[in-house]
Amino acid sequence: MKFKKTNIPDVILCEPKVILDERGYFFESFKMDIFEAFIGYKVNFLQDNEAKSSKGVLRGLHYQDELFSQAKLVRVVQGKVLDIAVDIRKFSPTFGKYIALELSGENKLQLFIPRGFAHGYLVLEDDTIFSYKVDNMYNNSSEKGIIYNDKSLNIDWNFPESEMIISEKDKILPSFLEATYSK
């Protein structure tokens, strides 16, 4: 597994070593010891989640506030997404900046998103399966979000907005400037 810091150094790109042969492929999708050695601290993933979506589905931008903040290790098992991580740590030099990365079942890239980030993704292929680990349990009263088309963030989804499939809940999220953050 190779690790690379992104333009927001706490967000880490993880690239597994894929072994291909006539039977198919094999790779280690996660190995705790080398992962923690690279990031420099312990992460205790507690839960794995998976979502299947159609092309055009946009999920996000979500985060858990305060005690229920979550770090995530995200990947695509099948299909393709544009994955977005927005730094919402108030005292970070990259506060309000975001990372945009294409993750796919083909490239097998993963993204580690530490606590203090809003996260979302846009599905680029039908029948996409998105999988992620979290290091804290979900808490409904701590669920927060930022509207996907916030003007100050200016995220380029590179997809026609008229073709996006967005939940009613995600359509009414606050702007980046109106959202609340614990730190």
> How crowded is the C-beta side of 170, counted as CA atoms within 13 Å?
18
Choosing from 98, 121, 132, 148, the catalytic residue is: 132
- What distances in angstroms separate CA 81 from CA 21, 67, 122, 136, one per listed residue? 26, 29, 5, 24
Q: How far apart are CA 44 and CA 63, in angstroms?
A: 18
Q: How far apart are CA 39 and CA 112, in angstroms?
A: 10
Active site residue 62: yes
Contact assessment for residue 76 and residue 111, using Cβ atoms and an 8 Å cutoff:
no
- Residue identified by tokens 């589905």 is 57
Q: How far apart are CA 117 and CA 145, in angstroms?
A: 10
Contact assessment for residue 133 and residue 47, using Cβ atoms and an 8 Å cutoff:
yes
Catalytic residues: 62, 132
